[in-house]
Structure 1
């Protein structure tokens, strides 16, 4: 995805990806957010995510490390820990030149549910979305949830092992901090 230069609105480290998603919705941002997970920062894995917004509603998702778009990109981006986030404002016509909408499109509420685990924010985002958007398979309308991103995540053994290693290291650090003997 070739990103145009935008006007930087925010650059910070957040513990929860809900913050930039809510900020984009509240400010009706037309532009994009670059999310770099802590894992990418610490392990230099080079995988960052890009979400585009039109009037605060997510439209496209892309992951630079896996070169995947749409719901699969959200699965690649969903990692434990903090994120470095940059939120940019763009002219509305600049979004039209970003990537293939068919390959990169995400339903409006999906980023809030998959990245932030926030059904209330997802519902607010769906309400703010214009009507012609495709229905959101995660909207709870009784239909099946889209299993694509979850299945893709579960098949990624390297990502699962990295999460396990991160959890082991955190458990070891806390055990030492509390004075437990882990031998």
Structure 2
């Protein structure tokens, strides 16, 4: 997916992707956000997520590491934070060609649900979406199941989450002095 360089609006590290998603919605930004997860920041892993917006409402998602778009791209990006997030403004006309690619489109509330785990933000986003935009995955559920299946098939991502959970458990055990006998 190719996008023209937008005007940088904000760039920062966040622990929760809810913050930039809510801010983009509140300000009605038309443009895109680049989400670079901690794996990319710390381990030089490939892959950034790009989510485009029209008047603050998500339209398209793409993952540069896997080359997947739409709901599967959100599954690829749904990893524990922190994230480095850069938000760019871009004219709607510059985004139009990308927004017309059905394989890249996501329902308006899906980024808030999948990345931030925030049903209230997802509902607000769906209410802000234009009437002609579908607000849920396809009626057959293919979009929803496809993202879950894509995530579950990514053994590397699951292994990384398990390893991170082990490290956090060890750290907490040490903090709580559970290892001392």
Q: Flag whether TM exceeds 0.5 (same fold).
A: yes
Residue 96 of structure 1 deviates from its aligned partner by: 1.3
Residue 116 of structure 1 deviates from its aligned partner by: 0.7
1:24-173 equivalences in 2 (<5 Å): 24-98=24-98, 101-137=101-137, 146-173=144-171
Structure 2 unaligned residues grouped into runs of 5+ = none
SS in 1 for 2:173: helix
**156-165 or 169-178: which moved more?**
169-178
Under a length normalisation based on structure 2, what TM-score does the superposition of the two structures give? 0.91
Question: What is the alpha-carbon distance in structure 2 between the residues aligned to residue 107 and residue 7 of structure 1?
Answer: 25
Question: What is the alpha-carbon distance in structure 2 between the residues aligned to residue 137 and residue 182 of structure 1?
Answer: 50
Residue 39 of structure 1 deviates from its aligned partner by: 1.9
Question: What is the alpha-carbon distance in structure 2 between the residues aligned to residue 129 and residue 4 of structure 1?
Answer: 24
Question: What is the alpha-carbon distance in structure 2 between the residues aligned to residue 93 and residue 174 of structure 1?
Answer: 50
Question: What is the alpha-carbon distance in structure 2 between the residues aligned to residue 110 and residue 62 of structure 1?
Answer: 13
SS in 1 for 2:65: coil
CA shift in 2, pair 1:43/1:182, >3 Å: farther
Under a length normalisation based on structure 1, what TM-score does the superposition of the two structures give? 0.90
Question: Does structure 1 conserve the Cα–Cα contact (< 8 Å) formed by 2:59 and 2:99?
Answer: no
Residue 41 of structure 1 deviates from its aligned partner by: 1.3
Q: 1:14 and 2:17 equivalent?
A: no
Q: Give the number of aligned pairs.
A: 180
Residue 171 of structure 1 deviates from its aligned partner by: 2.2
Question: What is the alpha-carbon distance in structure 2 between the residues aligned to residue 26 and residue 71 of structure 1?
Answer: 23
**38-47 or 59-68: which moved more?**
38-47
CA RMSD between the two structures: 2.1
Structure 1 unaligned residues grouped into runs of 5+ = none
Question: What is the alpha-carbon distance in structure 2 between the residues aligned to residue 85 and residue 26 of structure 1?
Answer: 17
